[in-house]
Amino acid sequence: MQIDMHYHGTYVLARAAGINESTALIIATASQFVDDSVETIQDCVFKDGSRLSQVVTAHHALSIANTSRDDQRSVWVPFHFLPGGGDGKGDPFEKRLICRRDSRIARQMFDNAIECSGKEFGAELIGIAAHVYADTFSHCGFSGISSKYNEIKNKSINLINMEEFPDHIKEYIGIKLKKKLLDRISELAKPVIRFFSFAAENFSRGLGHGAVVSFPDIPFLKWNFIFEDGRPGYEAGDEDNSLRFLYGCGELFKYFRKYVSVNPAVTDKAAVKNIKSFSVIKKDILAILSTPGNKDERIKKWQEYYLQNRLINSKGKTIPDYNIEKWTGNLKEICGTNMRDAVNRNLYHFYQGAEFHRTYVLRELLPEHGIFVI
């Protein structure tokens, strides 16, 4: 998933579940920051000898770190492609690392985050868990290591609803077509798709969903493909990303309600009196997810529905802009000084939560299921 879901959708679902504005903002920011805490953020060493060390939770698509098997296991596996466990211990190790939507392992991960949400970094931890859990609905079928199970038949990618998109959306997903050639869309699109698929798959060495570029993360796309080993990318009738995302939204809503019940202090007491069930807002959320658009247009749709009180009584307020500079903006100024206390607490709490999550997943949760990644 991308920022429209990890930040804006997460914020809306948290608010709809009865979480107050300040806590929902922390959760949504932490959720998106899982994608943005890349290796370019500097570590800080202070004059008194103390240190702020970044926890890397993602890499840029073209980062050389993506080719490191150790890095894949410490970054992509716990934060973006949570293993589903396969069909049992009899499955090969790499097959057990394949991500499954709403798996037993994913539910245990989120339940643990809620159980530990009373810690000082609890809200940030919930945001991290929300990101990881949401990704199981878009990244299902792929794993966070370079693996033969991530390889696909490049000629098999089929974009089912391309004819429904305006030209700028075709360009957005990497296919530039002129209006006069629309009747030849299928014939012209496939070679371009195959090229991008082949290039991405080879650079990533079979990492994650590189072979199908960003298609799993585009909510309005209906598509399918076949893995190299013959597995269908999606079973018949399951080709619609928006329906998978909708299911994920419903489950996230439930977890946010659990979080509120365990932590009454985060409740928006005014909003909770008029809280809607997910079944009431489900139709509007599906309308948002199904709307063709680039990231900015999809963000605008979340903003529009939120402002119109269609998802929650937002009292005419908008979704706050994602601004990670509020967390990281002063690092250059304070590094090398005695201003250790000037480190943004949310940033430090995010690093605490990220390390806590990674250690729990890799050292406790996965071994409990017989999966030893590190």
DSSP state of 233: S
The tens-digit pLDDT sequence of the chain (374 residues) is 999 999 999 999 999 999 999 999 999 999 999 999 998 777 899 999 999 999 999 988 767 777 788 889 999 999 999 999 998 778 999 999 999 999 999 999 999 999 999 999 999 999 999 999 999 999 999 999 999 999 999 789 999 988 888 888 888 876 544 433 334 344 445 555 454 444 444 545 588 888 888 899 999 999 999 999 999 999 988 999 999 999 999 999 999 999 999 999 999 987 777 788 899 999 999 999 999 999 999 999 999 999 998 888 777 789 999 999 999 989 989 999 999 999 999 999 999 999 999 999 999 999 999 999 99
The burial of 94, by beta-carbon neighbours within 10 Å (0-12 exposed, 13-18 middle, 19 or more buried), is given as middle
- Which of 96, 82, 84 has the alpha carbon at shortest distance from 149? 96
At 189 the pLDDT is 52
Q: Beta 51-52 vs 158-159: how paired, if at all?
A: unpaired
At 205 the pLDDT is 55
d(CA 271, CA 252): 18
At 242 the pLDDT is 97
Q: Which two tokens stand for residue 136?
A: 């199981």
Contact 307, 299 (CB under 8 A): no
Contact 155, 169 (CB under 8 A): no
- What predicted TM-score, i.e. pTM, was given to this entire model? 0.91
Question: For residues 140-167, b (16+ Cβ closer than 10 Å) or e, as one string?
Answer: bbbbbbbbebbbbbbebbbbeebeebee
Contact 169, 145 (CB under 8 A): no
Which H or E element spans position 223?
Answer: strand 223-224
d(CA 153, CA 229): 9
Helix segments in 139-176, DSSP class H? 167-172
- Which of 249, 325, 203, 365 has the alpha carbon at shortest distance from 16? 249
- Which of 43, 44, 48, 34 has the alpha carbon at shortest distance from 79? 34
At 276 the pLDDT is 81
Which residues make beta-bridge pairs with 152? 227
Contact 229, 223 (CB under 8 A): no
Rg over alpha carbons for the chain, rounded to the nearest Å, is 21
Contact 9, 248 (CB under 8 A): no
Contact 35, 275 (CB under 8 A): no
Every domain of the chain and the residues it spans: 3-142+235-368
At 178 the pLDDT is 42
Find where tokens 């994920």 sit.
248
At 168 the pLDDT is 85
Question: For residues 96-120, b (16+ Cβ closer than 10 Å) or e, as one string?
Answer: bbbbbbbbebbebbbebbbebbeee
